[in-house]
Amino acid sequence: MSRGGSGGRQRVRTARGRTAASTRWLERQLNDPYVRRAKAEGYRSRAAYKLIELDERFGLLKGARRVVDLGIAPGGWSQVVRKASPRAAVVGIDLLPVDPIDGVVIHQLDFMDVSAPDLLMADLGGAPDLVLSDMAANTVGHPQTDHLRTMGLVEAGADFAISVLRPGGAFVAKVLAGGADSDLVALLKRHFAQVKHAKPPASRKDSSEWYVIAQGFKGRGEDQI
């Protein structure tokens, strides 16, 4: 690896056994200002700034007392929540192992497991103000299949949010290919006062990811806590 001068762009030499694609990825990481900022500020990934920027625009974390983080790995979003709302109860879940985060209960489990919702709610201790979903299915290289698999997770996250949120709460989820499907948007609009799409600056321009932000949960009727 060669380094430029102070503030210059770093270039990576192609090493034996490293593909050109992996070399381009490594070079992009080294020259990504969000990656450098995350390291400097102690966040586990550049994705932390996606939530920071969404919060700046939509005020998601102000006054949050209970938060669920679906697809928590590697933990950047929960770090942001804890920094913004130090007293908030935070529970996360992911198939991947996640190093401990102070004040966050973490389950290594598939969110689609039938036991997952009850485990999350038992640890949270009450209806959440905010359900975050950065879940995405493992890609198989077929765009249509990858999109359907990820949207299945998004829809499961939305169903969970609708079943547990307190009135006025919010749901944020990563979606692909320009936004949420029309059926999902219709579902969210029935249950939330406001539904919008956003692509925060920290989301790479060449990425297909967007975020759907549903705010002002209308409640579930007489059985609402």
* Cβ proximity of 197 and 179 under 8 Å: yes
CA atoms of 195 and 216, how far apart (whole Å): 9
Residue 110 among known ligand-binding residues: yes
Catalytic residue among 39, 174, 196, 218: 174
4: tokens are 């430029």
The strand pair at 130-133 and 66-70 is best described as parallel
Report which residue type is found at 45.
S
Residues listed for the chain: 225
Residue 221 among known ligand-binding residues: no
Please give the C-alpha separations between residue 179 and each of 182, 197, 202, in angstroms, as whole numbers: 9, 7, 17
The answer to whether residue 174 is catalytic is: yes
Residue 223 among known ligand-binding residues: no
Residue 25 among known ligand-binding residues: no
Q: Is the dihedral of CA 177, 180, 181, 182 positive or negative?
A: negative
Q: What are phi and psi of 69, to 5 degrees?
A: -115, 100
* Cβ proximity of 15 and 8 under 8 Å: no
Residue 94 among known ligand-binding residues: yes
Burial of 64 from C-beta contacts in 10 A (0-12 / 13-18 / 19+): buried
In degrees, rounded to 5, the angle at the alpha carbon of residue 158 between the alpha carbons of residues 153 and 163 is 125
As annotated, the binding site includes 75, 77, 94, 110, 134
Binding-site residue positions for S-adenosyl-L-methionine: 75, 77, 94, 110, 134
User: Hey, which residues are catalytic here?
Assistant: 174
